[in-house]
Amino acid sequence: MAWTASTNPEQEYYESVHSVDEKALLLANLIKQSEHFIVFTGAGISTSAGIPDFRGPDGTWTLQAQGRDRTGPTTDTLQAIPTLTHMALVELQNRGLLQHVISQNCDGLHRRSGILPENISELHGNSNREYCKDCGKDYIRDFHATATYETSIHDHRTGRNCSRCGGDLHDSIINFGEALPDDVLDLAFEHGQKTDLCIVLGSSLKVSPANEIPEQIGCRQYSLRWPATLAICNLQPTPYDDLSTIRIFAKTDDLMVKVMEYLEIPIPPFILRRHVTVKIETESHITTLINVMGVDTDGTPASFLRTVKLLNYNYCMVTEPFIASIGGPLQVDTVFNIELEFMGHYCEPKLIIPHKFEWPGARECTYLLEYDPSTRKWEVTPDTTMQSLRV
């Protein structure tokens, strides 16, 4: 909050291009040699996406502390395109070089960019994720799944209910004065203890207990038993600069572009990936249920559909769960033309999936939907890797 920021923020520093280049080469070589490489990210990795940081000269908390209003444009986190840094980390993950991301960010861009849920510890929550305290079920939303805090800042109820048990859903945001979830924090510390290379990207390292993870890693730089390298890339000084082996004063995009060049790994463009499961179940000889559901990569329900239509049945579903009941006998090889309407944060057009009913009984198929914001076109393929997941 504003009281944690100074009215006179720390000065930002920029190293020479040559200096950043030399350190990027060093980091690339360390990544190649690393057995357990992790990154620790903060608000600085999202500023090039149009999302303000907190403690910079024009940071959100800095402006509040100074009593100033923001004058420049900002981007809604739901419409922000993941940055070059985000996409570089995704590619390092996909190639098996990056083992884990520890993030202080709540903007949801890591997950949207393609970081897998099992490969990230979102210490301070995710504005697109809510969960049920009663049964533990997670829900990923393509909207801000946060509480209004009308009762108190610690009342995280979103007003929605769990589809599994009916319990109250709560947002995952950690406000000041609240404890971090034990399971998330424990996993982050576990990776911090195992790492031999940690790169801090865009964090001031001033918020505890999250900052204790890079602090402990930095203290191991001279350890004979558990040696580790801590690299910090941030424009402002941090409390743990003296513990770092490599210190870079640069924008995270500028550093990561050079690191990827030295690794000879291209940074992929951002592609929005969605998974949709279609389940057709014949209840009797005269009734068929068609269930269309958005899911995350781990099978977690994901809300990104606005409406679902069965075009050849003139059937429109406008609220979740999207379940249609079709009367009359259903012939094998019947094709359902399913029209999907999305939330539209990236101007996604509607998409029609021709889904074939192949045999009586229960039939479930998951489709991978890939959307390129630069061309505004969808590509659809059956996703065999998701067929075994059940939500």
Active site residues: 124
Report the C-alpha gap between 241 and 247 in whole angstroms: 7
Angle at 369 between CA 293 and CA 330, to 5 degrees: 50
Task: List 129's β-bridge partners, or say none.
Answer: 140
What contacts 204, CB < 8 A, 6 or more positions away?
A: 10, 42, 54, 55, 234, 236, 238
SS3 27: helix
Chain-centre distance for alpha carbon 249: 25
Closest CA to 103 of 3, 236, 199: 199
E runs forming strands in the chain: 37-41, 98-103, 120-122, 129-132, 138-141, 157-161, 168-171, 197-201, 229-233, 246-248, 272-282, 287-295, 302-303, 305-310, 315-317, 322-327, 334-342, 351-357, 362-372, 377-382
Report the C-alpha gap between 186 and 189 in whole angstroms: 5
Closest CA to 39 of 95, 112, 89: 89
Cβ contact 129:304 at 8 Å: no
Task: List 103's β-bridge partners, or say none.
Answer: 41, 122
Query: What are the Cα distances from residue 189, in Å, to 32, 239, 243?
Result: 23, 19, 17
Cβ contact 208:239 at 8 Å: no
Report the C-alpha gap between 137 and 132 in whole angstroms: 5
Cβ contact 229:27 at 8 Å: no
SS3 199: strand
Closest CA to 142 of 381, 340, 353, 355: 340
